[in-house]
Amino acid sequence: MSSKRSHFTSKLTLIFIILVSLVANNVAMRLVLQRVKSASVRVEGQTVSSIGPGVMALVGLHENDNEDNLRECCKKLLAAKLWENDNGGQWRHGVKQRNLEVLCVSQFTLYGKLSKKNQPDYKLAMKSVPARALYNQFLNMLKESYEEDKIFDGKFGEMMDVELVNDGPVTIVIDSEPLGQNAAEKG
Determine contact, residues 104/142, Cβ cutoff 8 Å: yes
Backbone angles phi, psi at 44, to 5 degrees: 50, 45
* Phi, psi for 41 (deg, rounded to 5): -130, 130
| 121 dihedral zone (left: phi>0; alpha: psi -120 to 50; beta) | beta
| 51-66 mean pLDDT | 96
Nearest to 43, CA basis, from 164, 154, 165, 163: 154
- Does residue 181 have a pLDDT over 70? no
Q: Does residue 149 have a pLDDT over 70?
A: yes
Instruction: Write down all domains in the chain, each with its CATH number in brackets.
Output: 27-176 (3.50.80.10)
pLDDT in tens, 8-24: 444 444 444 443 333 44
pTM: 0.81
- Backbone angles phi and psi of 172, in degrees to 5: -130, 135
Mean pLDDT of 142-168: 97
